Amino acid sequence: MRLAQQLYEGVEVKGYGTVALISYLRTDSTRISEEADASVRAYIVENYGKEMEAEQIKEASRGKKIQDAHEAIRPTDVTITPAQVKESLPRDLFRLYQLIWKRFVASRMQPAKYETVSAKLDAGQ
């Protein structure tokens, strides 16, 4: 939590100055703002191609009793990639940011497709 707090409060990143790299961290929400969703989808299309973008995700109705003041933990700017901040961050901060960034981008991409090969061998006696 201490590392995440540093990423939230802001760290010195070469070329950007002091910047908060992640959104509010004390949340268990899965909701993403429309602006953040559009931003990550544009990033995916530009860098990986339209075929890698997931279909729009329909948000489930949560009822009126649940507080949902904050959105999910995510990068504040998806265009600031882990590779761009690697030299500016200590190892543990970098690894946490990389995890948050990758999971956020992956959440808006098509599921992974795996190609498998099966072989059945009969060796006799």
Residue numbers annotated as active site = 24
Cα–Cα distance measured from residue 44 to residue 103, given in angstroms and rounded to the nearest whole number = 13
Cα–Cα distance measured from residue 112 to residue 118, given in angstroms and rounded to the nearest whole number = 19
Contact 14, 88 (CB under 8 A): yes
Cα–Cα distance measured from residue 104 to residue 124, given in angstroms and rounded to the nearest whole number = 51
Q: What string of H, E and C letters represents the secondary structure of 48-68?
A: HCHHHECCCCCCCCCCCCCCC
